[in-house]
Amino acid sequence: MTNLAELNVSKNEIFDISCISQLKELENLNLDRNFVEDISPLKNLTRLKHLNLSGNLITTYNLALPNLEELDLSHNTLNDISGLQYSHKLTNLSLINTKIESINYLSKLKNLIKLQLSFNPITDIKPVKYLINLQYLDLAECYKIQSIEPLKYCIQLIFLDINQLSISDIWPLSFMKNLEVLHAVQTNVVGIHPLQYLHNLKIIYLIEAQVIDVTPLKHLMLDELALCCNKIQDFLPIQLHKNFYCNEPIDNESDPRYALTGQEVPTDEELKFYNKILSVHSSQKQIREIKNENRITKFRNSLTQKKKCVSVMLNNQIMMMNKEVDILVRFIQHIQLE
């Protein structure tokens, strides 16, 4: 057993790991979901590359493991993570729900590519600006963060989750030219102008924010866009190049789910655009019904061309239809188009 390179004893009832200290050849160790408190027996396992300690009873991480590449300490109650500063080869670090308040020890981890910090009472994220190779950052529900200014230095980011942060300004995102996925649900974000420069963006979730103007998104080639529960009143600036929401994922460009650009018509039985803001039902490439569940007051003319739209359900106040139909609807719930 002393030559063992990989050991997985996750989801057990282990308290004492002293016997593991003799396994000097270990490179991969999984102790996920046990009852471990004392991790000092691991201090001499210097060949470790992958270590999973999530879901234990650990309060102190002071191991100096120089070859460690992946470390998961999630779901522990940590008050000391000083050992992290010695693992310079770390590329993947997960500290989800560990109750840490400071991430100062992370500033030396220059090789980090993926960092998960969600559900922690962190207040200052300045150390993140030194992580020059970071591509994936999860800060979701770090409710004490008031500013994301240090993120302007994270120019390699591809994925960013800032769900439920107490922020209203996202200007630092304008520097993230490689960003592809943005999650910013339940924030106080009003202006989204910084996003107009991010031409690699494919997925945006801005649900339950304070967004009013979506014009900055008009030139982005988005695959998915969720803007439910904002304060949007004008839908016209947006042209989706691929349907942003469907019950099944879009796997390739030849998929029958078309874009809503004012020219192409969806072919699915039911497509949802802008996440509950607009539902489109189609039959034989004709739009049959439009349900407006938000405050949108305008739609592109081609959506309501004569004889292509059978009914319109309205939950807002005024909606101007296509000029060919020439109907102005005020304070009504249902109309039939000829």
**DSSP 8-state assignment for residue 279:** E
CB-CB contact of 120 with 138 (8 Å): no
Residue 166: inside a domain, yes or no?
no
170 within some domain: no
For residue 302, tell me if it sits in a domain: yes
Residue 324, pLDDT above cutoff 80: no
Q: Is the sign of the CA dihedral 64, 70, 76, 78 positive or negative?
A: positive
The residue segments making up the domain with residue 310 are 251-338
The total domain count for the chain is 1
Q: What percent of the chain has pLDDT over 90?
A: 59
pLDDT at 249: 37
Q: Is residue 326 situated within a structural domain?
A: yes
Instruction: Express each pLDDT in 170-221 by its tens digit.
Output: 999 999 999 999 999 999 998 899 999 999 999 999 998 888 888 888 888 8
How far is residue 81 from each of residues 12, 60, 320, measured CA to CA in Å? 25, 6, 59
- Is residue 177 in some structural domain? no
Tell me if 44 is assigned to some domain.
no
With tokens 């691991």, the residue in question is 42
For the full predicted model, state whether its pTM sits above 0.85.
Answer: no
**What is the per-residue burial (b if ≥16 Cβ within 10 Å, else e) of 100-121?**
beebebbebbebbbbbbbbbbe
Residue 300 in domain: yes
User: Residue 295: inside a domain, yes or no?
Assistant: yes
**Alpha carbon distance 88, 90 (integer Å):** 6
